[in-house]
Structure 1
Amino acid sequence: MLPNAATNFLYDNEKLSDYGMILCQFDRGGMETVSIGNNLTFNTVRTGMSDRNYLASVTYEEPLSTTFQICKYNCREENGYISPEELTSLLRWLSRRDGFHRFEIYQKGFEGTFFMGSFNNIQQLKSGQGICGLELTFVTDSPYGYEDIILDFTTAPSVGYSIFNMSNETGHLYPKVFTCKCLESGNLQIHNSIENRITELKNCVKDEIITIDGNHKIIESSVPTHKLYNDFNYNYFRLGSEYENNLNVITASLPCEIHIEYESVRKVGLG
């Protein structure tokens, strides 16, 4: 419990007031608590003859989930009940076993944000002689949402391209699609400044298109005779983000046309 008179705190050399916030106590009447996908589990170890716990690893244990209700537009009218035919169509659409699907909310503040998940619980809301609505529970595949980012640019030995990785999670992410069209023949090295990381492909030819699926670590070439298993250094292209630095400067040893598609992490509430 913090002192009642406290209005500020220091954490990792930054103050709460630096973000325009102060400590306060809300009257919880009429309010609800909505998770924003930051439930971390700290796995610790303690050495002998010590009371101090040392951090071994950190994981997100639970994906985001939320429960909400739906009804017909004209639910207040006499024919506002959901018919058996309409219920069948809704269940066919929502209650599925074929994997996670894209879910978007049309609401201010959620523009461009989507979640991947599925409805694992659907219940009828009955009133009188009919079904007036449904209660749905949606479970996602992760503790956060995503935003699609698509980039197209040309780079060369003396011309870099700056990418600010605006993901809400530090670390690195692999694009789901990365294509590189070589405009000259030679050995290709793509350098990312933030990690000093080089993705190398030897023996490329002019107009060859290299395609990388970063999610599944698959690399392909438009030239069938290119022996990628010999010429690739297996450093798959990725974007980095550090707490105080998210600038990725991309340069290449050959003139290239590059196309990138990746999903940026968005830590927002779902509820």
Structure 2
Amino acid sequence: MYAIDFEYDGQYLSDYGFIICDFDYSNSTTTADAGSKLSFEKVSRNGGKKFSLTNTTYEECVSTEFDICKNPDLYDYNERQISNDEYRDLMRWLNRREFLKFQVFDEDDKERDTCYYNVSFNIDKIKIGEKLYGLHLTMESDKPFGYGQEQYVSWNFSETSMVKILSDMSDEIGYIYPDMIITCNRSGDLSIYNESLDCRMLIKNCSVGEIITVKGDAQIISTTYRNHNICNDFNYEFFKIGNTIDNRNNRISVSNPCKIVISYSPIIKDTP
């Protein structure tokens, strides 16, 4: 994909009259890293004839560098110098002390890419003859991978014998903790079980009409019923979904009738 525009914190580069560009025309061939960099920890066996894998960790977060300049389709050659006000506006937008949502757009139809990152930027000036014509952006993210667009499923478990299937679309083999909104339709203890991962989240003493919210990544659970001491009634096994190399399906069942809304952003290792 050849990107010409991007979105950052709900604003677009094109809103500022700029595009993604490359000020170095000496080399038309580029290479790009594929996937997330892993570090493999191994121990020697049989006198060094074989090594066993003991642990695998990510080495670094996703980062990249690119240039931006005024869109030549909008500005004449004499208008392409970046003014002080334009520079300050771009710095205020991009050079932030927090990680915010970033995604790029395709050159042909500008359709939203399937992958986004949480990033911020360091910025260098690109000057020609002491005049500012471009900015060099160094993007730093908070994770070694990106995310796909958020996925939602909504189920009404009217009977405890019902089994629902959720397909985990992540590129990463393993598991993640999704967000959940649970509306209880019967009083009593409620367990939500993922047979595929043998994961059972148990919440005791639920009431009819009670709404329980679970923030999976932050590991936070809350309820709309003030009289429900959910901290004492929770087994602290947060619900998780996952996949293996052979199977993406999660078989989910409940012990009490309820409505469940599950949302998650699948992990995306890389885009073409």
Fold similarity call, TM over 0.5: yes
Q: Is 1:91 the counterpart of 2:95 in the alignment?
A: no
Q: Are the aligned partners of 2:115 and 2:271 in contact in 1 as well (CA < 8 Å)?
A: no
Match of 1:169 in 2: 172
Structure 1 unmatched ranges of 5 or more: 1-28
- The 5 Å alignment of 1:175-190 reads 175=178, 177-190=179-192
- The 5 Å alignment of 1:1-271 reads 30-47=28-45, 49-73=47-71, 74-97=74-97, 99-107=98-106, 111-119=113-121, 121-128=122-129, 130-147=131-148, 148-155=150-157, 156-175=159-178, 177-269=179-271
Please give the alpha-carbon distance, in whole angstroms, between the structure 2 residues aligned to 1:185 and 1:45. 53
Aligned partner of residue 55 in structure 2, secondary structure? strand
Q: How many corresponding residue pairs?
A: 239
How much does 1:214 deviate? Answer: 1.1
**Identity within the alignment, %:** 35
Aligned partner of residue 240 in structure 1, secondary structure? strand
- Amino acid of the residue matched to residue 100 of structure 1? F
Please give the alpha-carbon distance, in whole angstroms, between the structure 1 residues aligned to 2:32 and 2:112. 15
How much does 1:30 deviate? Answer: 4.7
Match of 1:22 in 2: none
Please give the alpha-carbon distance, in whole angstroms, between the structure 1 residues aligned to 2:113 and 2:154. 22
How much does 1:88 deviate? Answer: 0.6
How much does 1:75 deviate? Answer: 5.0
Please give the alpha-carbon distance, in whole angstroms, between the structure 1 residues aligned to 2:29 and 2:69. 23
Please give the alpha-carbon distance, in whole angstroms, between the structure 1 residues aligned to 2:47 and 2:186. 63
**CA RMSD of the aligned region, Å?**
1.9
Give the TM-score of the pair, scaled to structure 1. 0.82
How much does 1:48 deviate? Answer: 6.7
Q: Are the aligned partners of 1:63 and 1:144 in contact in 2 as well (CA < 8 Å)?
A: yes
